[in-house]
Structure 1
């Protein structure tokens, strides 16, 4: 009897060890799609950014595709709920059922806009929420292509004053090894040729605004179903942009919004045509003296003080460069690149010209901004578009 008891005990121990081993080796199920919303919110709009979480939760029940929605939160106004940067997720079955919020990982205090941290979080998402497709939403303050400057420009992000330059952001995304079907910037001034060219290899589509975005951000309660959908990515990203405009046109107190959807694999062709035009009309660059640039700021500038003179409508620039004779091949390629654009400007922040609006901005070098010019020369767009051949 004693021998039987010992054998039974040994059998139970072996089974327990085997069960634990099986549990550890059980792979995490691969979902069809994982969307990561990366919120850098330890700044002046923390409360507004936090509201987007509830908006997402409302929208998840409307999703018609199963998937995983992951949120990385680093914010200063919700210390009781999130004392540290936190990664959490919701599982969605695509039939109206949404799983409870599940904490994936918490991090010690960190700079969420450093290459290292961003790359680490992306790797964690890949490990804990593997999927056939990935999408990315980046939410925070931003100022587009501009260099990080603690006085007035952020490039992207604001984590207690820390920011990341767009080329560095591009490197972090590349190092993650993840290619996104789209990247949505819930941030100001991001639809610029300089930004799109830097990020052309990171995602198939970019959803961004050439001008300022209201602090309420994107209406996730309306558009999360499109964010999770896996069928026809191009139509889904266009639907997201349409929901954004509809919200600010019909539901928000202030009717102001600008939006564009950029198809990134068309950026090289647009850049090549721009290079040809810069070469052909190089002598016309003398037209962009201070008076003309000031005129452009008033009529086509997307940035307001202190970011005025940092970005202008790209089509307006090309029209001026080509003596009001924009070549048809440029127009056609611009339409293939910016596949959707719209705006609502009843509550004006800057002037939008309906006859020229392209949905994407560009910088025109200005001798009054030497620091900006120096940084502009480090961007890939500078050489690819032919600015390096002009003497700037």
Structure 2
């Protein structure tokens, strides 16, 4: 009987002891989440960039998770699979169906819910100390037009509305607007911030885009101008990150910008002289946007006397993506913000405006962490952030890509920068006075 009592006591003690918790897996330093939309004519370049990622040695410190949607019309590789698949990219891995970790079927990559779901899944499945989200595809800045057949960034009508956008899905005839990206990030992050958000896409390096992303990430990487189909040099910057996994968000952004021109083998293909890429410190966007609004107010007050100087400064600020897709074509009206401010500084004697211009330039400096520009764009003054600025009334009136995006009353995918800042007020007053 005594032995039985002793056994009961031991069992009771064991039952009261806390269970030994399974140790949590060690957090990676970085998880890179690539929302790769190859459901269009960039499909071959999507596979090319996947190969670049897979050329880097695998490490427990850096995860690369990819959601890849294919079209099947532009390359027959891997039996032309056309669904949307998720991958954890490893050394020498191929983007074949059996290498994926999930088959989602056909996913509309132009739906904000798809972006939200991918971000949630990536952060939960591959937890890390730091996260980067990269939107990979065509891009048109802060807000598309019929297919030109160009093998690279081109323009297509998806919903029948030519709004500027990113992540164009041919199968589902849809794309993401900045407001929809905001919606997806707000739902997935729930008040937290990404360490880095990147647009491996054309023309997203605008103040309007940075303003929309400022509450969701520490740093943004994007191009003021068109990006060639090769896109970023993933084999270079991911390899550098694998060697330095403790790098900060700003350090990784610098890696991406620094290695960008290295995506091109000089013996095969020279880097495009109009290439641009910049890293933007998003915590500095509010002060910069406020400075642009103050400048807008100053120009409005003196528009009758300043109109000539403003017009001359605008014409001295070359537009990005000009001559695309054909010589003499000018369907985008993005100019470098600092270039315009600098040109205007040398043309006005208005002290109020001079002060406002100096503030814009001063606020621009801490906002741009790093900037690359090919020789042509460098000579023209590309410095990291573009802004929408048609040269005059006719340029604005005939901008088929604008679709009331710069009207404060617009309710269709409204642009936060337009609604909340006063640059649009200046522009409309300017358009009333110039030819």
Q: State the TM-score, normalizing by the size of structure 2.
A: 0.72
Q: Residue 102 of structure 1: CA displacement?
A: 5.7
Residues 115 and 168, structure 1, Cα contact 8 Å, conserved in 2: yes
Which residue matches 2:85? 86
- Cα 1:179/1:104, change in 2 over 3 Å: farther
Provide the secondary structure at the position in 1 that maps to 2:374: strand
Partner of 2:42: 45
Q: Aligned pair in 2 of structure 1 residues 116, 355: CA closer, same or farther (>3 Å)?
A: closer
1:157 aligns with 2:167: yes
2:422 is aligned with 1:386:
yes
- 1: CA distance between counterparts of 2:226 and 2:309? 25
Three-state SS of the structure 2 residue aligned to 1:32 is strand
Matched, 1:31 2:43: no
* 1:301 corresponds to: 320
Contact 2:313/2:340 (CA < 8 Å) preserved in 1? no
Q: Tell me whether 221-230 or 261-270 shows the greater mean CA deviation.
A: 221-230
Give, in whole Å, the separation in 1 of the partners of 2:400 and 2:426.
Answer: 16
**Where do 1:13-32 residues align within 5 Å?**
30-32=27-29
In 2: Cα distance, 1:291 partner to 1:173 partner = 40
Partners of 2:101 and 2:83 lie apart in 1 by 13
Over 3 Å counting, the alpha-carbon distance change for 1:124 and 1:309 in structure 2 is: closer
Equivalent residue number for residue 5 of structure 1 = none
Partner of 1:268: 286
Quick one: distance in 1 between partners of 2:251 and 2:207? 22
SS state of the match for residue 30, structure 2? Answer: strand
Whether contact under 8 Å (2:309, 2:347) holds in the other structure is no
1:319 aligns with 2:331: no
Aligned match for 1:339, one of 369, 388, 391: 369
DSSP 3-state at the match of 1:121: helix
Paired with 1:364 and 1:154, the residues of 2 have a C-alpha distance of 15
Instruction: Work out whether residues 146 and 154 of structure 1, in 8 Å CA contact, stay in contact via their aligned partners in 2.
Output: yes
Instruction: Select which of 397, 400, 407 maps to 1:367.
Output: 397
Cα distance, 1:335–1:162 mapped onto 2, change above 3 Å:
same
How many pairs align?
Answer: 355
CA 1:329–1:292 in 2, change beyond 3 Å: closer, same or farther? closer
Structure-to-structure mapping, 1:191-202, within 5 angstroms: 191-202=205-216
Q: Using a 3 Å threshold, how does the CA distance of structure 1 residues 248 and 90 change in structure 2: closer, same or farther?
A: closer
Match of residue 200, structure 2, among 178, 183, 186: 186
1:153-232 correspondence runs (5 A) = 154-160=164-170, 161-177=173-189, 179-227=193-241, 229-232=245-248
User: Could you give the per-residue CA deviations for residues 77-101 of structure 1, whole angstroms, max 9, x where no partner exists?
Assistant: 3563745211111468xxx9xxx99
Cα distance in 2, alignment partners of residues 174 and 58 from structure 1: 33
- How far 1:162 moved relative to its partner? 1.6
Render the CA deviation track for 1:209-262: whole Å, top value 9, x for unaligned: 111111111111111134553323312211221111344485661321211110
Q: 1:75 aligns with which of 47, 65, 70?
A: 70
What's 2:142 paired with?
145
Q: Please say if residues 104 and 128 of structure 1, whose CA atoms lie closer than 8 Å, have aligned partners that are also in contact.
A: no
Show the 5 A alignment for 1:56-135: 56-61=53-58, 66-77=61-72, 78=77, 80=79, 82-90=81-89, 103-135=100-132
Answering whether residue 360 of structure 2 is matched by residue 330 of structure 1, we say: yes
The residue matched to 1:271 in structure 2 has which SS?
Answer: helix
For residues 102 and 40 of structure 1, the distance between their equivalents in structure 2, rounded to whole angstroms, comes to: 18
Which of 237, 258, 283 aligns to 2:276? It is 258
Structure 2: 5+ residue runs without aligned partners? 1-19, 146-156, 349-353, 391-395, 408-413, 429-435
What does 1:281-300 align with in structure 2 at a 5 Å threshold? 281-282=299-300, 283-284=302-303, 286-287=307-308, 295=315, 299-300=318-319
Q: 2:381 aligns with which of 342, 351, 356?
A: 356
What displacement does 1:174 show?
1.6
